Amino acid sequence: MKVCIVGATGLVGSTMLKLLEERNFPVSYLLPVATERSKGRNIGLNNVEFPVCTLQEALDAKPRLVLFSAGSEPSLEWAPKFAHQGAWVIDNSSAWRMHDDIPLVVPEVNVHSISPDSRLIANPNCSTIQLVVALNPLHQAYQVRRVVVSTYQSVTGTGTAAVEQLMNERQQTDGPKVYPYPIDLNLLPHIDTFQPNGYTKEELKMTNETVKIMGDASIRLTATTVRVPVRGGHSESVNVEFEQEFDLTEVRSLLAKAPGVLVQDDPASLLYPMPLYAEGRDEVFVGRLRRDESQSRTLNMWVVSDNLRKGAATNAIQIAEYLLAKGWLS
């Protein structure tokens, strides 16, 4: 099977490569696409070196699976070309997420939205993915009415240059900056561009994507997204109001049984999720489960996940594994 990764040298693209190896995904030939400055470079997969190629060269090679992680512009132009040629395309950008005819998929929640004709599939925003994995089992039991979420997002969500800015500031070294202010010893309540209503694009993505993935337009969600001086792993403080009353013991049980969730909730032992320990893992970690004592039928929880893995690369590879299991990628 020919597999193409667009953005193969980026943080998400390189994580996708790692996961293809880890999960023994059947790749017969790799087509790594990267920027012009990577021309002439080789990318390794399963101890075999493959030359970096252009998008046109990859298209001409007719891959069976294409994983996009290079931003919206290349996806808008090239993803339909690959799909029209018969490839299955999984796009990690925001380009196609809110198109009515494009499935927006988190396998633990709505993999059923993929059909044999869904040649182009959108991978959701990293913060949305971990949120809906934790919300979905509770929504099935108690019906989510309203969600208030504040995110604490690591610099890897911005990319390699952001990691370099954080490390340079930490070492008091001059270097290029991708944020408008220092990120070390600071918090930036600003992810993506501000919109006329005062929210950022990231905050609106979480609102709109959650409703689409969970398939329930009655869910109301408001978000505040914050960049924090953490290298990897996104964290979320989540306040959920339900239509029905809940029992905390049952909540823990539902989450513990939910696919992709790992409950870490033992205050007496100081056990709770932290981004430092979520790095390199594929689970969505949930803890600090407690009632909101200011309002009925409302739960507080703390949700953490590796944004490069489950928040991006792992979710995409899981979608590809589903296509393989259905026999659609053969």
Judge if 288 and 319 occupy the same domain. Answer: no
The verdict on residue 236 lying in a domain is: yes
pTM: 0.97
Judge if 160 and 40 occupy the same domain. Answer: no
- pLDDT over threshold 90, residue 95: yes
The verdict on residue 330 lying in a domain is: no
Residue 212 structural domain:
127-307
Judge if 214 and 300 occupy the same domain. Answer: yes
The verdict on residue 153 lying in a domain is: yes
Catalytic positions: 126, 234
- pLDDT over threshold 90, residue 39: no
Q: pLDDT tens for residues 43-80?
A: 999 999 999 999 999 999 999 999 999 999 999 999 99
Judge if 254 and 320 occupy the same domain. Answer: no
- pLDDT over threshold 90, residue 35: no
Q: pLDDT tens for residues 219-265?
A: 999 999 999 999 999 999 999 999 999 999 999 999 999 999 999 99
- pLDDT given at position 38: 80
Amino acid identity, position 172:
Q
Where does the pLDDT of residue 37 fall: very low under 50, low under 70, confident under 90, or very high at 90 and above? confident
